[in-house]
Amino acid sequence: MFLPQRRTGAFTGEQMKEYFKAVCIGGGCGASQVMAGLKAYTKQITGIIAVTDSGRSTGKIRIAMNVPAPGDIRNALVTLSDGDPVFKQLFQHRFSSEKLHELDGMAFGNLFLAALTQMTGSFELAVKEATRLLQLTGRVLPVTLYSTHLCAELVDGTVVQEEFNVRALNKPPIKRVFLQHPDIEVYRDCVDALKEADLITIGPGSLYTTVIACLLVKGVAKAIKESRAVRVYVCNTTTQPGQTDGLSLSQHVSEVLNYLGSSAIDYALINSGSPSEELRRKYAEDRVYLLEPHPQEVQRIQDMGIAPVLADFVDATAGKRTLWEKQDSVRHVPERVAAELVKLIQVTER
């Protein structure tokens, strides 16, 4: 396996905690797994988070206030928070109401961010205030400050708009995705973070609606390609119904490169572990299938100029979750992912 000639891992343990800068790109669940693991190694973590979600709770807030989607931002803030545990739980609490439909399923943290946006006059300041109140290790940045929607052209030529419809089940496969407002620009602080990073991770998470949704924002792909950081795509463990039905492991990587550009990823972290047969069967009932790292698939990834790194990342102790209007997938163990990422930093030469 070749080693990309990029930054060096010249950090001692203490230096890493204070100076090692990691940037994690994606959604509030996938990227948050990586950030949760990296907290043991560094205080300098930046989450660059997608803001095109249009699902249940987030969708209501977006309609009411015309703001970027707060849901994934909320999850990432809680992940990096070192604040009061009750406040963190409150941020994730969902209201249950049979009498007021608009409130049913609403995440308190989404309302909180919406209220802060009204009080401060901007989504940017709202996230900064939430960062202070939740006492974050690191920071969370929206990939853009503009409110836009993700759209997709399907293989039959149909165009669907809004993230909820892009990931909908029982539709033709996705041919390509794009933003409703293709010229919106990346939040300036994200570009600075990418320039200064020692490590950039992309994913895991919903391939089109979180990972690629971030890469579509003008300026993101360019900043990643120009960064001297070690750049790692953390591959998903499974397919996702409505988005990646039938896509192989190497096709996931290829799709990311289609939007990011060649020579923009150094390593791909690939899961080689497997949950129990019983759990695999339960996931298969929802058409969620493990992405198998067959030798041919690994070779195809290497042929793309990316160094494959295989390890068992599967959280075998976790059961299947019931999510709000989304399908669950096999989760990564954050500590294992972070340990492999730190190894890559230590072996990659400047």
Range of the domain at 310: 13-50+143-347
From the CA atom positions of the chain, what is the Rg in Å?
19
Phi, psi of 5, rounded to the nearest 5 degrees: -90, 90
Which has the closest alpha carbon to 189: 48, 44, 73?
48
Q: Give 273-332 as a DSSP string.
A: ----HHHHHHHHHTT--B----HHHHHHHHHTT-EEEEE--B-TT------SSS---PPB
The last residue of one of the domains, among 93, 108, 138, is 138
| pLDDT attached to residue 326 | 52
Task: Determine how β-strand 139-142 pairs with β-strand 267-271.
Answer: unpaired
What is the domain count for the chain?
2
Is 310 domain-assigned? yes
Is 5 domain-assigned? no
The last residue of one of the domains, among 138, 156, 172, is 138
Domain shared by 147 and 129, yes or no: no
Whether the CB-CB separation of 141 and 187 falls below 8 Å is answered with yes
Domain shared by 44 and 67, yes or no: no
Domain shared by 171 and 41, yes or no: yes
Separation in Å, CA 177 to CA 163, 214, 246, 278, 344: 10, 11, 17, 34, 31
| pLDDT attached to residue 239 | 95
d(CA 335, CA 293): 21
* pLDDT tens by residue, the chain, 350 residues: 344 445 545 565 666 777 899 999 998 788 999 999 999 999 999 999 999 988 777 777 887 777 888 999 999 999 999 999 999 999 999 988 777 777 788 889 999 999 999 999 999 999 999 999 999 989 999 999 998 999 999 999 999 999 999 999 999 999 999 999 999 999 999 999 999 999 999 999 999 999 999 999 999 999 999 999 999 999 999 999 999 999 999 999 999 999 999 889 999 999 999 888 888 888 888 899 999 999 999 999 999 999 999 999 988 766 554 544 455 678 899 999 999 999 998 876 54
Domain shared by 193 and 324, yes or no: yes
Burial class of 165 by CB neighbour count within 10 A (0 to 12, 13 to 18, 19+):
middle
Give the pTM: 0.91
Domain shared by 183 and 156, yes or no: yes
Domain shared by 253 and 183, yes or no: yes
The last residue of one of the domains, among 138, 168, 187, is 138
Token couple for 291:
């992405």
Which has the closest alpha carbon to 101: 54, 162, 57, 165?
57
Domain shared by 329 and 228, yes or no: yes
| pLDDT attached to residue 350 | 43
d(CA 219, CA 147): 16
Domain shared by 130 and 97, yes or no: yes
What secondary structure letter does DSSP report for 210? I
| pLDDT attached to residue 325 | 47
Is 1 domain-assigned? no
